[in-house]
Amino acid sequence: MYDVCIIGSGAGGSPIAYELANAGFKVVVLEKGENYAEKDFSKDELGVSRRDMFTPPLNEQKHVINEYAKDGTFTTYDGEKSGWNFWNGSMVGGSSNLMSGYFHRMKPNDFRLKSAYGDIKGANVVDWPISYEKLEPYYAKVEKVVGVSGRVIKHKRQEPRSSPDFPYPELETNGVVKWFDKACFELGFESLPTPRAVLSGDALGRAGCYYSNFCGSYGCSSGAKGSARAALLQKCDAKIITDAFVYKLVSDKSKVTHAHYYTKHGFSHSIEAKIFVLAAQAIESSRLLLNSKNRHFPNGLANSSGELGKNLIFSAGGSGSGRFIFENLTMRQQKELMQTGLFFNRSLQDWYEYEEDGETRKGGTIDFLFEHQNIISRVKREMYDESGGLIWGQALVDKVHKTITTSRVLTFEVFNDWLPTDNCNVGVDENVKDKYGVPVGVINLNGHSHDLKVGESLAKKAVEVLKKMGAVEIDYSISSSPPPNLVAGGCRFGDDPKTSVLDKNCKAHDLKNLYVSDASFMPTGGSVPYTWTIYANSFRVAEAIARELN
């Protein structure tokens, strides 16, 4: 028997494996995907194709998606037929292998959203059962152990820190960053260096970044990116079983006794452990618990509250871009613009809070970055003329050549709260099953109108900066379509067992040996990407489990 069985090897599970295995406990990690190393992470735009290589075939494993409209009606999408899915990287280290590594901490008021900003009609907003101050030491631990590069500057939205700066110097930046800083200064905005979970030099037994600019959606072939695999699992002696799809947790009325999993060939095995940690990604964790119902828990394991799968959240916001063209630039600026590989790494948080109609509102973060280095995605934008007609032949060749060699696109991403609502949740469909015969996840999607309002306001600020910098072809899109790589909720934690699935240490209220440590625990998501908070909370949960084992 193992001391701890962890289901999932991403940012939610790996800190627990790292801490407990290195403390001498017997730990096993069950991972649905395969184990890759740096040598496997090619930058082949066709072969890797931005995540497709690392997600299940949709004819074998799919989602059913119900998208709600404003009038309460919904449209159902079959994942196999539509191609719409929420898989994020089935492999050791999970989707942390494929992240861009933009690491912002949540801020103190993110932990008390209801108390700080009040109720919002139609949204299930609650305060967290822990404070920023409780999580801060673990944010600091992630900086050192996972590796965060950056430079702290004082600004009006700066959250409290226990250390004056990041442990690793900021990454090299492109010359265009100077234009951005100047534009922000003239507009009265505070330009912030963006912290990245990417090592700027050799450290922690890993190589530093070599600036391929293939971070987002690609695995890191140097080891610089702070994935759960490179930073944690390769630094501990936890046993990792790959190709292990956990389809059921077996329990009595007070504890989980076994985890049953299928191999890729359909053979079933089971694992016994003293403590089970579920970290399969928010949607899949809810799905597994719902599919593990039994006579003690007829509505799903650990679901006496009826809250399991509810209050699913994503990151609200959207994106935009502007193009810089040689005709508007000096020779020096042209050279700066075309520097390859170097990061942009600038953010704005001036409107993380803002005043509107005499009240303080919650805003968000704007990250600026160059368009992805993937040449295929860049060329696909050039296949049409100004009237929208398809072009081909020499005209297409000429347009592509001119665009790629004499211009460059700067993009921005807006992150603001996706407010939890009654119609955004996870269920299962007993009539639709995956290749293992297990009911698939049903994802009900509903975005609150407030999310769009905040996102729109932030996007307009980003557009001001692009205009000031001299960009052309500026556009943006703010929508309620959720980013599949930024998902949380479904097993929210809280002090009241009647209104939450987990306690403040992410242990199930109903079962004395089940923890959930991926983003499922989050009642609200803040206005930043989730990964740093998932890492930090998992290190915190690891301490709670260690105390219990001891």
pLDDT digits (tens, 9 = 90+) for 122-180: 999 999 999 999 999 999 999 999 999 999 999 999 999 999 999 999 999 999 999 99
Give the residue-averaged pLDDT of 59-84: 94
From the list 284, 237, 300, 226, the residue with the least C-alpha distance to 4 is: 237
Return the CA Rg of the chain.
Answer: 23
Give the residue-averaged pLDDT of 454-470: 98
Domain ranges of the chain: 2-39+46-69+87-157+173-200+215-549
From the list 473, 420, 5, 37, the residue with the least C-alpha distance to 220 is: 37
Give the residue-averaged pLDDT of 406-426: 97
* In the predicted structure, residue 47 carries a pLDDT above the cut 90: no
Give the residue-averaged pLDDT of 336-349: 96
Q: ∠ CA(483), CA(299), CA(278), 5° rounding? A: 50
Bridge partners for 415 per DSSP: 317, 365
CB 511 within 8 A of CB 497: no
CA 339 remoteness from chain centre: 28
Give the residue-averaged pLDDT of 430-446: 97
* In the predicted structure, residue 52 carries a pLDDT above the cut 80: no
CB 290 within 8 A of CB 428: yes
Predicted pLDDT at 49: 61
Q: How confident is the model at residue 356 (pLDDT cuts 50, 70, 90)?
A: confident
Phi and psi at 110, nearest 5°, equal -65, -25
Round to whole Å and give the CA distance between 156 and 159: 9
Q: ∠ CA(144), CA(146), CA(150), 5° rounding? A: 65
Bridge partners for 246 per DSSP: 261
Q: How confident is the model at residue 50 (pLDDT cuts 50, 70, 90)?
A: low
CB 108 within 8 A of CB 405: no
Reported as a single tens digit per residue, the pLDDT across 263-300 is 999 999 999 999 999 999 999 999 999 999 999 999 99
What's the mean pLDDT when you consider all of the chain? 96
Give the residue-averaged pLDDT of 96-108: 97
Q: How confident is the model at residue 51 (pLDDT cuts 50, 70, 90)?
A: low
Helix and strand totals (H; E) in the chain? 12, 20
CB 425 within 8 A of CB 309: yes
CB 490 within 8 A of CB 282: yes
Round to whole Å and give the CA distance between 184 and 468: 8
Architecture of domain 2-39+46-69+87-157+173-200+215-549: 3-Layer(bba) Sandwich (3.50)
Predicted pLDDT at 132: 98
